[in-house]
Structure 1
Amino acid sequence: MRSATTFLMFQGQANEAIQQYKEWFTDLTVQSLSYMEDSQQVAMAVMDLKGLKIMVNDSVIKHDFTFTPATSIFIECETLEEIINLTAQVLEGGKALMPLGHYGFSEQFAWIEDRFGVSWQFTYNLK
Protein backbone atom coordinates (compact mmCIF):
# COMPACT_ATOMS: atom_id res chain seq x y z
CA MET A 1 0.00 0.00 0.00
CA ARG A 2 1.46 3.34 -1.02
CA SER A 3 -0.84 5.67 0.94
CA ALA A 4 -4.29 6.25 2.43
CA THR A 5 -6.06 9.58 1.96
CA THR A 6 -9.40 11.14 2.84
CA PHE A 7 -11.29 11.91 -0.38
CA LEU A 8 -14.24 14.34 -0.58
CA MET A 9 -16.33 14.27 -3.75
CA PHE A 10 -18.72 17.12 -4.43
CA GLN A 11 -21.21 17.86 -7.17
CA GLY A 12 -20.29 21.42 -8.09
CA GLN A 13 -19.52 22.75 -4.59
CA ALA A 14 -15.86 21.74 -4.19
CA ASN A 15 -14.39 25.20 -4.75
CA GLU A 16 -16.88 26.78 -2.34
CA ALA A 17 -16.11 24.08 0.25
CA ILE A 18 -12.34 24.59 -0.09
CA GLN A 19 -12.72 28.33 0.47
CA GLN A 20 -14.96 27.76 3.48
CA TYR A 21 -12.60 25.20 5.01
CA LYS A 22 -9.68 27.63 4.62
CA GLU A 23 -11.67 30.14 6.71
CA TRP A 24 -12.64 27.65 9.41
CA PHE A 25 -9.26 25.94 9.72
CA THR A 26 -6.38 28.43 9.65
CA ASP A 27 -3.84 25.57 9.55
CA LEU A 28 -5.32 24.18 6.32
CA THR A 29 -3.19 24.62 3.21
CA VAL A 30 -4.12 23.93 -0.39
CA GLN A 31 -1.17 22.06 -1.87
CA SER A 32 -2.58 21.81 -5.39
CA LEU A 33 -5.74 22.85 -7.19
CA SER A 34 -6.76 22.30 -10.81
CA TYR A 35 -10.01 23.12 -12.55
CA MET A 36 -11.90 21.36 -15.31
CA GLU A 37 -11.42 23.02 -18.68
CA ASP A 38 -13.46 26.24 -19.09
CA SER A 39 -15.02 25.79 -15.65
CA GLN A 40 -14.80 26.65 -11.96
CA GLN A 41 -15.43 22.97 -11.17
CA VAL A 42 -12.54 21.37 -9.32
CA ALA A 43 -10.86 18.59 -11.29
CA MET A 44 -8.66 17.79 -8.28
CA ALA A 45 -7.37 19.56 -5.20
CA VAL A 46 -5.11 18.36 -2.43
CA MET A 47 -5.28 19.99 0.98
CA ASP A 48 -3.31 19.44 4.16
CA LEU A 49 -4.86 19.88 7.60
CA LYS A 50 -2.34 19.27 10.37
CA GLY A 51 -0.77 16.43 8.39
CA LEU A 52 -4.09 14.98 7.18
CA LYS A 53 -4.08 14.85 3.40
CA ILE A 54 -7.53 15.54 1.92
CA MET A 55 -8.27 15.15 -1.79
CA VAL A 56 -11.25 17.09 -3.17
CA ASN A 57 -13.02 17.11 -6.53
CA ASP A 58 -16.29 17.80 -8.30
CA SER A 59 -17.70 14.64 -9.85
CA VAL A 60 -18.45 14.82 -13.55
CA ILE A 61 -21.02 12.08 -12.96
CA LYS A 62 -24.22 13.00 -11.13
CA HIS A 63 -24.96 10.68 -8.21
CA ASP A 64 -28.09 10.03 -6.16
CA PHE A 65 -26.08 10.05 -2.93
CA THR A 66 -24.41 12.64 -0.75
CA PHE A 67 -21.95 12.30 2.12
CA THR A 68 -22.61 9.79 4.84
CA PRO A 69 -21.92 10.72 8.48
CA ALA A 70 -20.32 7.29 8.89
CA THR A 71 -17.24 8.89 7.34
CA SER A 72 -16.03 11.97 9.16
CA ILE A 73 -12.98 14.10 9.79
CA PHE A 74 -11.95 13.93 13.45
CA ILE A 75 -10.33 17.05 14.91
CA GLU A 76 -8.68 17.20 18.34
CA CYS A 77 -8.97 20.80 19.53
CA GLU A 78 -6.26 22.40 21.66
CA THR A 79 -8.49 24.73 23.68
CA LEU A 80 -12.08 24.99 24.86
CA GLU A 81 -12.38 28.25 22.92
CA GLU A 82 -11.27 26.49 19.73
CA ILE A 83 -13.91 23.75 19.95
CA ILE A 84 -16.64 26.27 20.76
CA ASN A 85 -15.67 28.48 17.79
CA LEU A 86 -15.25 25.63 15.30
CA THR A 87 -18.53 24.04 16.33
CA ALA A 88 -20.40 27.34 15.92
CA GLN A 89 -18.85 28.06 12.51
CA VAL A 90 -19.33 24.60 11.01
CA LEU A 91 -22.85 24.36 12.41
CA GLU A 92 -23.88 27.49 10.46
CA GLY A 93 -25.99 26.12 7.61
CA GLY A 94 -25.33 22.55 8.79
CA LYS A 95 -26.77 20.36 11.50
CA ALA A 96 -25.63 18.87 14.78
CA LEU A 97 -25.53 15.09 14.78
CA MET A 98 -24.30 15.37 18.39
CA PRO A 99 -24.43 18.93 19.78
CA LEU A 100 -21.44 20.28 21.68
CA GLY A 101 -21.45 18.75 25.12
CA HIS A 102 -19.88 16.38 27.62
CA TYR A 103 -20.57 12.78 26.63
CA GLY A 104 -18.31 10.97 29.11
CA PHE A 105 -15.60 10.03 26.61
CA SER A 106 -14.53 13.66 26.09
CA GLU A 107 -14.62 16.90 28.11
CA GLN A 108 -16.36 18.52 25.14
CA PHE A 109 -17.41 16.85 21.91
CA ALA A 110 -19.48 17.78 18.86
CA TRP A 111 -20.35 15.92 15.68
CA ILE A 112 -21.48 18.33 12.98
CA GLU A 113 -22.56 17.83 9.38
CA ASP A 114 -21.56 20.99 7.54
CA ARG A 115 -23.65 22.74 4.89
CA PHE A 116 -21.95 20.66 2.19
CA GLY A 117 -22.88 17.37 3.87
CA VAL A 118 -19.35 16.62 5.16
CA SER A 119 -19.24 15.19 8.69
CA TRP A 120 -16.81 16.63 11.28
CA GLN A 121 -16.14 15.39 14.81
CA PHE A 122 -14.53 17.84 17.25
CA THR A 123 -13.17 16.80 20.62
CA TYR A 124 -11.49 18.63 23.47
CA ASN A 125 -9.87 17.15 26.56
CA LEU A 126 -7.93 18.95 29.31
CA LYS A 127 -5.14 16.35 29.21
Structure 2
Amino acid sequence: MPHHVAPQLMFEGNAEQAMRFYVSLFDDSDIVRLDRYGPEGPGREGSIMQAEFTLAGRRYTCIDSHIAHPFSFTPSISLFVECESREEFERLREQLGADGETLMPADDYGFSTRFTWLNDRFGVSWQLNLA
Protein backbone atom coordinates (compact mmCIF):
# COMPACT_ATOMS: atom_id res chain seq x y z
CA MET A 1 0.00 0.00 0.00
CA PRO A 2 1.56 3.36 -1.01
CA HIS A 3 2.12 6.03 1.59
CA HIS A 4 0.63 9.47 1.10
CA VAL A 5 2.89 12.33 2.10
CA ALA A 6 1.47 15.84 2.10
CA PRO A 7 2.44 19.10 3.81
CA GLN A 8 0.04 20.02 6.61
CA LEU A 9 -0.49 23.67 7.42
CA MET A 10 -1.60 24.48 10.96
CA PHE A 11 -3.61 27.68 11.29
CA GLU A 12 -5.25 29.23 14.31
CA GLY A 13 -8.75 30.09 13.14
CA ASN A 14 -8.25 31.12 9.51
CA ALA A 15 -7.51 27.80 7.76
CA GLU A 16 -10.56 27.93 5.53
CA GLN A 17 -9.91 31.53 4.47
CA ALA A 18 -6.27 30.70 3.61
CA MET A 19 -7.15 27.46 1.80
CA ARG A 20 -9.83 29.14 -0.34
CA PHE A 21 -7.41 31.98 -1.16
CA TYR A 22 -4.63 29.60 -2.24
CA VAL A 23 -7.00 27.48 -4.36
CA SER A 24 -8.15 30.64 -6.17
CA LEU A 25 -4.57 31.48 -7.23
CA PHE A 26 -3.52 28.30 -9.05
CA ASP A 27 -4.94 26.24 -11.92
CA ASP A 28 -5.65 22.56 -11.19
CA SER A 29 -6.52 23.39 -7.58
CA ASP A 30 -9.53 22.36 -5.54
CA ILE A 31 -10.86 21.72 -2.05
CA VAL A 32 -11.09 17.94 -1.77
CA ARG A 33 -12.41 17.48 1.78
CA LEU A 34 -13.49 19.80 4.57
CA ASP A 35 -14.33 18.52 8.06
CA ARG A 36 -15.45 21.07 10.65
CA TYR A 37 -15.68 20.97 14.42
CA GLY A 38 -19.24 20.70 15.66
CA PRO A 39 -20.76 22.17 18.83
CA GLU A 40 -19.15 19.37 20.88
CA GLY A 41 -15.65 20.69 20.02
CA PRO A 42 -12.92 20.44 21.02
CA GLY A 43 -12.22 23.23 18.50
CA ARG A 44 -14.39 26.29 17.92
CA GLU A 45 -17.61 25.26 16.18
CA GLY A 46 -17.27 25.64 12.41
CA SER A 47 -13.48 25.82 12.42
CA ILE A 48 -11.47 23.34 10.37
CA MET A 49 -10.83 20.02 12.10
CA GLN A 50 -9.14 18.65 8.95
CA ALA A 51 -9.20 19.71 5.30
CA GLU A 52 -7.52 18.48 2.17
CA PHE A 53 -6.91 20.56 -0.92
CA THR A 54 -4.79 20.58 -4.05
CA LEU A 55 -2.63 23.37 -5.47
CA ALA A 56 -1.48 22.89 -9.06
CA GLY A 57 -2.31 19.20 -8.67
CA ARG A 58 -0.35 18.65 -5.44
CA ARG A 59 -2.03 17.52 -2.23
CA TYR A 60 -2.01 19.57 0.99
CA THR A 61 -3.86 19.34 4.28
CA CYS A 62 -4.67 21.97 6.88
CA ILE A 63 -6.23 22.37 10.30
CA ASP A 64 -7.28 25.07 12.73
CA SER A 65 -5.45 24.20 15.93
CA HIS A 66 -7.64 24.48 19.00
CA ILE A 67 -4.52 24.24 21.18
CA ALA A 68 -2.47 27.40 21.77
CA HIS A 69 1.12 26.87 20.65
CA PRO A 70 4.16 29.11 21.24
CA PHE A 71 5.02 28.79 17.52
CA SER A 72 3.56 29.48 14.12
CA PHE A 73 4.76 29.30 10.53
CA THR A 74 8.44 29.86 9.83
CA PRO A 75 10.31 30.57 6.57
CA SER A 76 12.44 27.50 7.32
CA ILE A 77 9.90 25.68 5.17
CA SER A 78 8.24 27.43 2.28
CA LEU A 79 6.16 26.69 -0.78
CA PHE A 80 8.35 27.08 -3.88
CA VAL A 81 6.56 28.17 -7.07
CA GLU A 82 8.16 28.01 -10.53
CA CYS A 83 6.39 30.74 -12.50
CA GLU A 84 6.16 30.32 -16.25
CA SER A 85 5.84 34.02 -17.12
CA ARG A 86 6.64 37.47 -15.77
CA GLU A 87 2.89 38.14 -15.59
CA GLU A 88 2.28 35.07 -13.43
CA PHE A 89 5.23 35.99 -11.19
CA GLU A 90 3.97 39.55 -10.65
CA ARG A 91 0.35 38.44 -10.11
CA LEU A 92 1.36 35.92 -7.44
CA ARG A 93 3.83 38.34 -5.85
CA GLU A 94 1.11 40.98 -5.57
CA GLN A 95 -1.63 38.65 -4.33
CA LEU A 96 0.44 36.55 -1.93
CA GLY A 97 2.37 39.60 -0.70
CA ALA A 98 -0.71 41.71 0.09
CA ASP A 99 -0.68 42.44 3.84
CA GLY A 100 2.28 40.07 4.20
CA GLU A 101 6.01 40.52 4.64
CA THR A 102 8.76 40.55 2.00
CA LEU A 103 11.81 38.55 3.05
CA MET A 104 13.72 39.00 -0.24
CA PRO A 105 12.45 41.68 -2.66
CA ALA A 106 11.82 40.71 -6.28
CA ASP A 107 15.12 40.88 -8.13
CA ASP A 108 17.68 39.02 -10.23
CA TYR A 109 19.83 37.22 -7.67
CA GLY A 110 21.96 35.42 -10.23
CA PHE A 111 20.32 32.02 -9.77
CA SER A 112 17.15 33.14 -11.61
CA THR A 113 16.00 36.07 -13.69
CA ARG A 114 13.43 37.09 -11.05
CA PHE A 115 12.97 35.75 -7.53
CA THR A 116 11.19 36.83 -4.36
CA TRP A 117 10.58 35.29 -0.94
CA LEU A 118 7.64 36.43 1.14
CA ASN A 119 5.32 35.53 3.97
CA ASP A 120 1.65 35.92 3.10
CA ARG A 121 -0.95 37.49 5.41
CA PHE A 122 -1.52 34.09 7.05
CA GLY A 123 2.19 33.67 7.85
CA VAL A 124 2.88 30.97 5.22
CA SER A 125 6.23 31.44 3.45
CA TRP A 126 6.43 31.40 -0.37
CA GLN A 127 9.38 31.51 -2.78
CA LEU A 128 8.44 32.67 -6.27
CA ASN A 129 10.90 31.98 -9.06
CA LEU A 130 10.69 33.01 -12.70
CA ALA A 131 12.04 30.00 -14.58
> So what's the TM-score if we normalise by structure 1?
0.91
- What are the equivalent positions in structure 2 for 1:5-16 lying under 5 Å apart? 5-16=6-17
Identity %: 38
Asked if residue 52 in structure 1 is aligned to residue 53 in structure 2, the reply is no
| C-alpha distance after superposition, 1:67-105 (max 9, x if no partner) | 010011111111110001100111101011111111111
Name which one, 1 or 2, has greater alpha-carbon Rg: 2
**Residue 129 of structure 2 is aligned to residue 115 of structure 1:** no
List 4+ stretches of structure 1 deviating above 6 A. none
Partner secondary structure for residue 73 of structure 2: coil
1:76-115 aligned within 5 A: 76-115=82-121
The corresponding residue for 1:28 is 29
Relative to the length of structure 2, the TM-score reads 0.89
Asked if the contact 2:77–2:125 (Cα under 8 Å) also holds between the matched residues in 1, the reply is yes
For residues 22 and 52 of structure 1, the distance between their equivalents in structure 2, rounded to whole angstroms, comes to 11
Distance in 2 between residues matched to 1:51 and 1:27, nearest whole Å: 5
Question: How far is the alpha carbon of 1:27 from its aligned partner?
Answer: 3.2
Distance 2:29 2:128 in 1: 16
Cα distance, 1:120 vs structure 2: 0.7
Q: Aligned partners of 1:111 and 1:27: how far apart in 2?
A: 23
Q: For 1:99 and 1:26, locate their aligned partners in 2 and report how far apart those are by CA, in whole Å.
A: 25
Q: Would you say the 8 A contact 1:15–1:40 is kept in 2?
A: no
Contact (CA 8 Å) 2:83, 2:129: kept in 1 or not?
Answer: yes
Please say if residues 27 and 56 of structure 2, whose CA atoms lie closer than 8 Å, have aligned partners that are also in contact. no
